[in-house]
Structure 1
């Protein structure tokens, strides 16, 4: 597929219309974006479409739209994608709740920030592909139309190829369960030999004390401890816990006697948009940089890294 045509995939099956466009020049970006925004402007009963993209590209769109620019929302992607892939789920769900029309109807043009966290490492990029794939399940009940635009000059051909597998209509689409299972097949690095074993009966106080001793400020140590206990409560009972690292990259690994299986575990937003204890693995994913869940023959491993 040419990377400079601006061509976008066709509609997805179901209510959530999840499309993808690739571009290798600013002209190709505008060529892909304008018809999509025009479609949103003409959709009966929908609020104005929104473009979430690099600030320089938003300027290109304003110029190309002319007087129609006043009817389109513009959000710098550095304001939208401010954290982990799980944070992006929360941002999207919150935006739909506050601004979308009936059933979640709205057109969103979305450009990942490859100069930021999403493109900072292979691990971060893999987490982004996980998010793109799970979005097909998470937002399936909504009548939202999303066009994810990928700049091949910054994302690179390998990542764009993976992104095609997360978007229906590209010809390479894989079901989320299949793609996520493949991502999870990559083994986690083994814990260091000097990792601290912690009795699960002392999980809350033990994690908090250990984290403070290893450099986390008191408020962060409290938050990390709560995140670990939320995961253990939601997925447990845990049979063991290991701790290692130093602030801010403190790590706790929980061992569970049973598998988790659900690829959406911790990604489904709670009924209320407020982040608070009692939300299980959702809370953990929202406050921690990485939450890796791996099922094995003898149960599951849940590795939680604060930052």
Structure 2
């Protein structure tokens, strides 16, 4: 079972336009709206791969109600903690002419102290009845104390759950010392957590960062690096996953889909090697179509079969 905490949920809106440039007026050729934010995107991907998933999220206003309705329609068990602040909206604009993606992301909506306490309470209840993985994914609202991720990790460990973290910034640095069993970050986030510049050497540099992070967490560390693939370090050593096919032009949510596929595979008892393949398959399948985490299971598995792990 996989339980995710979404501290920064959002309504994700994707506009497809023929062209886009600053200062213009454009008519979208298609619009996609969905419950989103990193944790919800990861949950959608994991559900696509047939995992048993639940998500706890603070939701507010009409946007929060839309999120709840859309998640239920997608087969996601979303457990809301109703909050005062309206749930944010994040916008992506994909230009057919340039192939470029423009992203406008609101900051995560504020959470009060009482609402945060309620989130802890609801998460604890789910963890008590759902053994398996607890994942904290996404940005942390400025109103949430930096050390809160560490407290949540300790809560999950006290219930016997393994913990996965995919976040960034000061909150991530504080969470590392709590010892999550799985850390999944991208290359820039890894460098930020270590207080260094991203290395020029994409091979030894990324593996070096992964090993330094593992020295802090004691768990498995996976660093994604876009089309260059992903790098993993665990107690058995280094592994790199690569794929050389079509990478798609809709990357929003690919990192989240990677996490969802990775957790779905690990939760099913598969090896890290097989899980890296499925994670890459989910991330790539996500980028082939608009809308975060809205890929087909068969596409993800077909790509995963072609992923090379060395």
TM-score, with length taken from structure 1: 0.25
Q: Greater helix share, 1 or 2?
A: 1
The structure having more radius of gyration, on CA atoms, is 1
